[in-house]
Structure 1
């Protein structure tokens, strides 16, 4: 799942790690972290004053306020990035991301001289980044905005500079999920997904369903600790893959 388009978005690595903590059923949403990185340009600094990140999917719209100082994006290149925001987004088809810039504070520095960047679209509706990819419920993503400074800054000819962003897109899901149904539901077990020293726990609901969103890819041991008089049950070698939900189906617990 890879693309390269102008005014687009990259979804890349988001790691998920937990140790002995409960996870809630977040069915219906995908966790998205928005990061910014840069492809180098021949400038001393390129400073963006970002106000909001707006993420639009077929499930709805999320507006994330970016609370921070203006960012010199040239500091984040050669594999470095900076986190702008993290948010739960309605699952569905990812359609558009918009970067809304503040009216002031956007600048380019050339040979020690600072110039204002004219960014009219970014100051109103936002710089629109078109992308078409699926956000799966319970799967974690990173939205890496790979800004190409060399192509994004345009000289007007009268000593002024316009910002016309060119952004590279590399979509990828970076976690998986695990689900299933306990039979009978009356066993009401606590369920633990264990990989190495990391343990994630949840509780089966009234219908017997259990759900682990945002699991790191790997092989797990799944333990079921039911109420009396039901017996403990273990399932070994459960493989979780990035970008998919592993369904254990019906898990029968006996007395």
Structure 2
């Protein structure tokens, strides 16, 4: 199974909120955290020392320090909060810049250390989609690292080619549902055409949530560790800030 996508989350005050909230002053509050989605490796260790944002014409520091952690510890909507409640003054976030100092993928007990292209010097720069801010409002901003394309399997291990996007969480929605009859460690995929957009690991009851989806229509695919897979056409329509129910997805078709 391919690696799924990873999310680095910059929480603007309203942690895990998908709507705007009033702060009662002329600045925005900024919190910085990180989360990811399940992946078919043992762990993904990343290290970085700085996150900056270009707000209006100025580069501002959102996080500075030394942080190393396993992305796979923060799955299915969980997050690692790095910094919170930073005052941010400005009207428009244009870019983010992440200075990543190292990345190591562990697969079958073997460590595959990678060089981060430009990561610890000029940084990885990401355009922020629709980054307009309004004074006194709290925002949540996501940086989406597509691990399927960022960590590329090679003959001798892995190499890194950062593929990232940034957007406000209020512009995304989610799909939830429950698997029925799936017993061999299934994984759930949100599909846009043939592209895997998000993945989720169901809990013991079969319940799952596919997080941070752009508005639009999706199908769902499920596969397990013994090679069985099934597609559910839907379509499942996602709206900004909304939750779409996929209902119960049985492994076997009704007779």
Tell me if 1:146 matches 2:144.
yes
Give, in angstroms, the shift of residue 50 of structure 1. Answer: 1.1
Relative to structure 1, the CA distance from residue 128 to residue 8 in structure 2 (aligned partners, 3 Å threshold; closer, same or farther) is farther
| Distance across 2 between alignment mates of 1:8 and 1:40 | 11
**Aligned equivalent of 1:100:** 99
| Distance across 1 between alignment mates of 2:88 and 2:167 | 19
Give, in angstroms, the shift of residue 156 of structure 1. Answer: 4.5
Give, in angstroms, the shift of residue 150 of structure 1. Answer: 2.6
| Distance across 2 between alignment mates of 1:10 and 1:68 | 17
**Aligned equivalent of 2:161:** 164
| Distance across 1 between alignment mates of 2:79 and 2:135 | 26
Q: Which moved more, 1:31-40 or 1:58-67?
A: 58-67
Counterpart secondary structure, 1:74: helix
**Aligned equivalent of 2:113:** 116
Give, in angstroms, the shift of residue 35 of structure 1. Answer: 2.0
Counterpart secondary structure, 2:78: coil
Tell me if 1:76 matches 2:74.
yes
Question: Residues 41 and 107 of structure 2 are in contact (CA less than 8 Å); yes or no, is this contact kept in structure 1?
Answer: yes
Find runs of 4+ consecutive structure 1 residues off by over 6 angstroms.
Answer: 6-13
| Distance across 1 between alignment mates of 2:8 and 2:73 | 20
Question: Residues 47 and 69 of structure 2 are in contact (CA less than 8 Å); yes or no, is this contact kept in structure 1?
Answer: yes
Partner of residue 128 from structure 2, selected from 126, 131, 152 = 131
| Distance across 1 between alignment mates of 2:79 and 2:113 | 24
Tell me if 1:91 matches 2:97.
no
Query: Superposed, which structure 2 residues align to 1:161-200 within 5 Å?
Result: 161-167=158-164, 169-172=166-169
**Aligned equivalent of 1:204:** none
With a CA cutoff of 8 Å and minimum separation of 6, indicate the structure with the bigger relative contact order.
Answer: 1
**Aligned equivalent of 1:252:** none
Counterpart secondary structure, 1:150: helix
| Distance across 2 between alignment mates of 1:122 and 1:135 | 27
| Distance across 2 between alignment mates of 1:59 and 1:8 | 26
Structure 1 residues 20-39: Cα deviation after superposition (integer angstroms, max 9, x where no partner): xxxx9742x32222221112
TM-score using structure 1 length: 0.53
Question: Residues 8 and 33 of structure 2 are in contact (CA less than 8 Å); yes or no, is this contact kept in structure 1?
Answer: no
Gaps of 5+ in 2: 16-22, 172-255
| Distance across 2 between alignment mates of 1:53 and 1:149 | 19
| Distance across 2 between alignment mates of 1:137 and 1:83 | 23
